[in-house]
Structure 1
Amino acid sequence: MNIRDYLDSTYLKTNVQAGLDENENIAVAKGFIQEAIDEGFKLIMIRPDRVALAKQMIEAAQSKVLVGTVIDFPEGKSTIDKKLAEARECIQNGADDLDFVCNYEAFKAGEIDLIKEEILKGTQLGLDHNKTVKWIIEVAALSDLQIAQLSALIKDVVVAIFKPESYSSVFVKSSTGFYKTENNLPNGATVHSIKIMLENALPLPVKAAGGVRTYDEAKQMIKLGVKRIGTSGAKAIANGEESSSQY
């Protein structure tokens, strides 16, 4: 097993979040992109306004690293039309993976038809352009029952509408890594939440994002059955070290 084949190296901080000006933050993003190229990670996950930059650098290096980005990040509260417009722009700029933030607050409020519609339309858009689509459910904002229900809902929509050969291109993803929890509780993937997702999302693949900080933790997630791991500490994990990153 090559751990790098599972790692989506991730840098999603805005200028404000990073405490940097635009040029400084671009430099950090470039560093992450170059590191993904040098290390041969599966993918570099970058903000939508950095997709074209990542694609340009990867093509110049003749690398096979994929470019992923986040849609309606981090709260997922935008309208479906706004989600789709952002996704289309990212596709035009060269994104390979589209990680949509599911409107989990609408789900919690019982707006099931809205969730079904955004899953259907977002997945359709991605698959029509031969992209991988991931639905971020934000496990830290959900109860165990809600994790199970939302994972199953995404699965049910995809299985009902799309062909089996598409299933491997539609993921259920645990977290944005930016959700604010109380009492320092985990805001990303845990073994407990991932087990619930796997039980309810299959045959769709699962991505564990946030909270995986060591090689052993990553290996444990892979052993459970996840197909991708999102982390801003990919190099440390790949080298058997512990990442100090919070995502």
Structure 2
Amino acid sequence: MNVKSYLDSTYLKTAEQAGLSESENEIIAEGFVQEAIDEDFKLIMIRPNRVELAKKMIFNANSKVQVGTVIDFPEGKSSIADKLEEALQCIQNGADELDFVCNYTAFKNGNEVLIKEEILKGTQLGLEHHKIVKWIIEVAALNDLQIAAFSALIKDVVVANFKEENFESVFVKSSTGFYKTENNLPNGATVSSIKIMLENASPLLVKAAGGVRTYQEAIEMIRLGVKRIGTSGAKAIASGQEPSSQY
């Protein structure tokens, strides 16, 4: 199995989060882009301010690696207008895929009207520009019933408002990888959460992000049915090693 075709190599740390200077962190980010090119990964997932850099490096290398970025990351609490503005800027800068953080706090508070509107408008913006759209639901912040309901809600909005041919361009994604959990509980994809997402998001696709750390774990996720895996240890996973990063 060519696991590389499933891997979204990911570097989303700010300089502060990485404990580095801005220039040092920029070098790390550039290294991730170059690695994605060298290893022929499906995609490099990068912060919005680095989309143009990634596109330039990929173009200069005559590579087919796609560029993904995150919108309203990592908490997803911004207004819909701000989400759309950030997404449009990323599209203009060359992003191929948009990973929106859903307002999972609003969802937990029962504000389905807001959630449905941001799913509708964000998906519409992405599809109008022929982009892949992913909706991050932050499974570590939810219980099993909420994971099921959130996945189904996204599915229902997309199925009701877009053509069947678009369904494969919309994902439900597990995690940001930055959610703070208590008692060292997983903050990313788990087998149980992914199974729930797969059952309730279909016919939309599912991306497992955060917590997939080994080749065997990646294979297990793929066999469950996920179509993408987000990880900062893509090279290690592809080579059968265990990455040092926790994302």
TM interval, short-chain normalised: over 0.9
The Cα offsets for residues 48-84 of structure 1, whole Å up to 9 and x where unpaired, read as 0000000000000010000000000000000000000
The Cα offsets for residues 99-147 of structure 1, whole Å up to 9 and x where unpaired, read as 0000000000010000000000000000000000000000000010000
Alignment length, in residue pairs?
Answer: 247
Matched with 1:122 is 122
User: RMSD of the TM alignment (CA)?
Assistant: 0.4
* C-alpha distance in 1 between matches for 2:2 and 2:62: 21
Matches within 5 A, 1:79-228: 79-228=79-228
Please tell me the residue identity of whatever aligns with 1:194.
Answer: I
* C-alpha distance in 1 between matches for 2:12 and 2:199: 29
Per-residue deviation, 1:2: 0.7
> Is residue 2:233 matched to residue 1:233?
yes
The Cα offsets for residues 24-43 of structure 1, whole Å up to 9 and x where unpaired, read as 11100000000000000000
* C-alpha distance in 1 between matches for 2:26 and 2:244: 21
* C-alpha distance in 1 between matches for 2:128 and 2:183: 43
* C-alpha distance in 2 between matches for 1:22 and 1:191: 36
Structure 1 residue ranges without an equivalent (≥5): none
Please tell me the residue identity of whatever aligns with 1:230.
Answer: G
Matched with 1:75 is 75
Matched with 1:42 is 42
Per-residue deviation, 1:20: 1.1
Per-residue deviation, 1:245: 1.1
Please tell me the residue identity of whatever aligns with 2:21.
Answer: D
Please tell me the residue identity of whatever aligns with 1:64.
Answer: K
* C-alpha distance in 1 between matches for 2:73 and 2:202: 25
The Cα offsets for residues 146-200 of structure 1, whole Å up to 9 and x where unpaired, read as 0000000000000000000000000000000000000000000000000000000
Q: Which runs of 4+ in 1 moved over 4 A?
A: none
TM-score by length of 1: 1.00
TM-score by length of 2: 1.00
SS in 2 for 1:235: helix
